[in-house]
Amino acid sequence: MNKTVLILKNEYLKRVKKKSFIILTLLVPFLFAGVFALVIFLSINNDKKERTIAVFDESSLFLNELGEEGMTKYKFIPKEEYEQLKSNMKGSGFYALLYIPNDIYTNNIAQLISEKQVPFELNEQIERKLSRYIENDKRQKIINETGIPDLEERLSNTKTSIRLSTLKVSVTGETQKSSSAIAFVASYAMGFIIYFFVFMYGATVMRSVMEEKKSRIIEVIISSVKPYELMAGKIIGTALVGLTQVAIWIVLGMVVLMVAQGFFTPESAQQMGQSIMESQQQMNPAMAQVAEPNKVLEVMEMIGNLNIPLILFTFIFYFLVGYLLYSSLLGAVGAAVDNEEDSQQMVFPVTIPLILSIMVLFPIARNPEGPVAFWFSIIPLTSPVAMMARIPYGIPTWELLLSMFLLVLTTIGAIAAAAKIYRIGLLMYGKKINLKELFKWLRYKN
Amino acid sequence: MEIFSARNVNKVFADTKALTGVSISVNKQSIFGLLGPNGAGKTTLIRIINQITAPDSGEVFLEGRQMTRADIEHIGYLPEERGLYKKMKIGEQAIYLAQLKGMSRHDAVKNLKKWFEKFEIMSWWNKNIEELSKGMQQKVQFITTIVHQPKLLIFDEPFSGFDPINANLLKQEILQLREDGATIIFSTHNMESVEELCDHIALINKSVKIVDGQTDEIRERYKSNVFEIKYKGSFNVVNQVLNNQFKILGHVENNRINQITVEYSHGKSNNDLIQALIPVSEILSFEEKIPSMNDVFIRAVEEANKQAPLNLPEGEK
């Protein structure tokens, strides 16, 4: 045990002191902050380019007026000029050419001609303008025909949008506000975090084993410590490196956030908020509702209503056991192979379940009760990721216990098998290793 | 006094016999040569001593007790394939390896500094191993093998990669270690160093121990009654006199001094030969030819292979 601590310490310090670790750990939060800032910056300073669009209005519906919006201006032109521009737009100073045909009222089709690909936003803006105008026109006509003066108002009152406020009934009969959107985000995020860390640090364990084998120091080491002490030290040490990294990211992330808050003036923050809201409204009206003030409280309440202790517990459980399972398997692979190329071949079959589980993460989060969700969260090699995607929705206790039980059982088996492969593989050189060979090793006696 | 022994050790890998009923006994403060052709099973035996692999049957004893995992702290092992962490400072690395052998950090630093100074490599302390030449790395590795003052040292080809000066330095250190109380098991193909260093040898061939004993005694055992005689006188006359009693294997004449190599036939003694020679020549020197370790090795292995030729494919791992 004492030696495991020594190995763990050495493994930990070696990795934490590495330049690449320090750089990556310090850089990632800034990188994220930078990308985020860039996106905000671009969305604020978007469309600083002045654009004039030539409009040929064959229908004469728009009466030479489309108004200005943002940096975009509209200039109406006669037919002759339109014909001329259509064949040669270069040097005209117009960004694009809008052709409103005679039958727009019935066909709902107009044409935008340009040299370059027109930005999505501009496209939308024009569509919106034209639709709104024609809509108003049609509406006015109806008002005129029916003679009901407040028809407009009465019609707009008929607009209805139903939101489902989801309540969950707990065993005790209490109802709680829940939100499938929040459960969705939470489940997706947790599944992904587990996948990411298991993969990344499992591979680190493997490389560490390979390094010792390749440099031949392994024979000296295992004449000092037992192979399983070595493996345990490595796996725990690497896990601590991962936790250190996450801890630094959290702290740095908070610092960056605070600095960013101080950096942006209230005005720019407001502007930023507005531009984000606008873009959200355009993209998805439902999401914009979340940002309404009274909704924010509701969201907070919903988050609070997720079963946080259960989620935290299962997250830590699946994270640790999943990591243990995969890092011991990958450690065994590292011990079995001699070189990088062989390791690539061996890593793939070992990590297929992990890759599969991240592939089904989205379907599971959308339908957490389906057969895919059930089986992937019960089968041990996929359950660390898949089960996390189901937890926020609530899950029958027996399923959770079964999944945990199977995972622990498999992990114990995997560690035993890995330890055996590890012990044999460490001193085996110059042999081409495949899965068949590994299964043969498992049958070896000491 | 015996410090280490292996008793009737057997080990079979999937399709190869690595050790068959091998027993050795190593005396305290001696240098024990473990010899054998490639793939004979030496490394397997060494790994069993180091508790890296377990024997299928048989036992190993250290200081009279059956060896346990805890005993490996009393062993220093220099494997044939050397290696250190490439991206770790030499000093830190040496401390780490010493700690793994059960030393406290404080003692490790103290002892290491002593050895680094002795080998005049203190300036390497903060270097990475990558920056050193192969021979320099060997020095570091040698120190990491002995720094925890093990009772039993196992050196597998310790001189490979050393230039003659450093090899000699190493030889002196090994002798000094024995002087200071350590026992050394020494595996090598360099027979000259075996003659120089080993008190006792065991020769393993195809998983079986075929020779075991004191180095001098074994060479004595493998001598084949061949003598080298220098004399003044006529070779023809000597040849005639000896021909019916002794077999002349070789003859060199240089500056009227003859040198002949003679093998005794059955039942003849030194005195018979001298008596035959005295009347016809003036004897200058008379010396029994003791086979070199190299000769012993080759003869022993060849004889063993002749006796069990069917075993042949097994040795080829």
φ, ψ at A244 (rounded to 5°): -60, -45
Handedness of CA A223, A225, A228, A232 (dihedral sign): negative
Q: Do A211 and B144 touch (CB under 8 A)?
A: no
Residue B32 pLDDT: 94
CA nearest neighbour of A387 among A361, A413, A363: A361
Nearest CA in chain B to A214: B83
Assess whether pLDDT exceeds 50 at residue B313: no
Assess whether pLDDT exceeds 70 at residue B101: yes
Query: Least CB-CB distance to A224: which of B72, B82, B83?
Result: B72
Residue A153, SS3 per DSSP? helix
Q: Which of residues 29-58 of B touch A (CB under 8 A)?
A: 47, 50-54, 56
CA nearest neighbour of B175 among B196, B145, B149, B154: B196
CB B98 within 8 A of CB B90: no
φ, ψ at B61 (rounded to 5°): -125, 140
- Can you tell me the distance from the alpha carbon of B137 to that of B2, in angstroms, rounded to the nearest whole number? 33
Q: Do A223 and B86 touch (CB under 8 A)?
A: no
pLDDT tens digit sequence for A164-210:
666 656 555 555 555 667 777 777 888 888 888 888 899 999 998 99
Distance from CA of A430 to the nearest CA of B (A): 12
pLDDT tens digit sequence for B140-152:
999 999 999 999 9
Query: Least CB-CB distance to A215: which of B51, B84, B96?
Result: B84
Give the pairing type, strands B226-232 and B282-288.
antiparallel
Residue B144 pLDDT: 94
Above pLDDT 90, what percent of chain B?
39
Distance from CA of A251 to the nearest CA of B (A): 29
Domain boundaries, chain B: 2-217, 224-288
**Cβ contacts from A onto B, under 8 A:** 58
φ, ψ at B14 (rounded to 5°): -30, -55
Residue A262 pLDDT: 66
Write out chain A residues lying below 8 Å of B99, CB-based: 6
Q: Do B86 and A211 touch (CB under 8 A)?
A: yes
CB A243 within 8 A of CB A319: no
Residue A270 pLDDT: 53
Point out the least confidently predicted range of A422-426, B188-192, B199-203, B313-317. B313-317
Chain-wide mean pLDDT for chain B?
87
Query: Least CB-CB distance to B88: which of A7, A14, A226?
Result: A14
Write out chain A residues lying below 8 Å of B53, CB-based: 446
Tell me A430's DSSP state.
S
Nearest CA in chain B to A443: B14
Write out chain B residues lying below 8 Å of A217, CB-based: 83-85
CB B130 within 8 A of CB B160: no
Residue B312 pLDDT: 45
Q: Which of residues 77-136 of B touch A (CB under 8 A)?
A: 77, 79, 81-88, 96-97, 99-101
In SS3 terms, A179-225 reads as: CHHHHHHHHHHHHHHHHHHHHHHHHHHHHHHHHHHHCCCHHHHCCCC
- The class that CATH gives domain B2-217 is alpha beta
Assess whether pLDDT exceeds 60 at residue B316: no
Residue B243 pLDDT: 76
Residue B219 pLDDT: 86
Residue B253 pLDDT: 83
Q: Do A223 and B85 touch (CB under 8 A)?
A: no
Write out chain A residues lying below 8 Å of B96, CB-based: 6, 10
Return the higher-pLDDT residue of B310 and A322: A322
Query: Least CB-CB distance to A219: which of B79, B99, B144?
Result: B79
Confidence of residue B283 (pLDDT cuts 50, 70, 90): confident
Residue B315 pLDDT: 40
Q: Which of residues 142-161 of B touch A (CB under 8 A)?
A: 144-145
CA nearest neighbour of B213 among B130, B306, B296, B101: B296
Domain boundaries, chain A: 51-141, 180-262+292-442
Write out chain A residues lying below 8 Å of B97, CB-based: 220-221, 224
What is the interface pTM, i.e. ipTM, of the complex?
0.79
- Can you tell me the distance from the alpha carbon of B317 to that of B313, in angstroms, rounded to the nearest whole number? 8
Residue A180 pLDDT: 65
CA nearest neighbour of B86 among A14, A68, A287, A13: A14
Distance from CA of A228 to the nearest CA of B (A): 12
Write out chain A residues lying below 8 Å of B132, CB-based: none
Residue A300 pLDDT: 60
Q: Do A444 and B14 touch (CB under 8 A)?
A: yes
Tell me B89's DSSP state.
B
Which CATH code is given to the segment(s) A51-141? 3.40.190.10
Handedness of CA A19, A20, A24, A27 (dihedral sign): positive
Task: Give the dihedral of Cα atoms A386, A387, A391, A393; nearest 10 deg.
Answer: 50
pLDDT 10s digit of each residue in chain A, 446 long? 588 899 999 999 988 988 888 888 888 777 877 887 787 777 666 556 677 888 888 877 777 677 777 677 888 888 888 888 877 777 777 888 888 888 888 888 888 888 777 777 778 888 888 888 888 888 888 888 887 777 777 777 787 777 666 665 655 555 555 566 777 777 788 888 888 888 889 999 999 899 888 888 888 898 888 888 898 899 999 999 988 888 888 788 778 777 766 665 555 555 555 555 555 455 444 444 444 455 556 666 666 666 778 888 888 899 889 999 999 999 988 888 887 777 888 888 888 998 999 888 888 877 888 888 899 999 999 999 888 888 887 788 899 999 999 999 999 999 888 888 888 888 777 677 777 777 777 777 65
Assess whether pLDDT exceeds 80 at residue B128: yes
Q: Which of residues 53-82 of A touch B (CB under 8 A)?
A: none
Q: Do A223 and B72 touch (CB under 8 A)?
A: yes
CA distances from A273 to A260, A264, A269 (A): 14, 11, 6
- Can you tell me the distance from the alpha carbon of A18 to that of A14, in angstroms, rounded to the nearest whole number? 6
Q: Which residues contact A109 (CB under 8 A, 6 or more apart)?
A: A101, A103
**Residue that is written with structure tokens 């909704």 in the block:** A295
Which CATH code is given to the segment(s) B224-288? 3.30.70.260
Above pLDDT 70, what percent of chain B?
97
- Can you tell me the distance from the alpha carbon of B176 to that of B169, in angstroms, rounded to the nearest whole number? 11
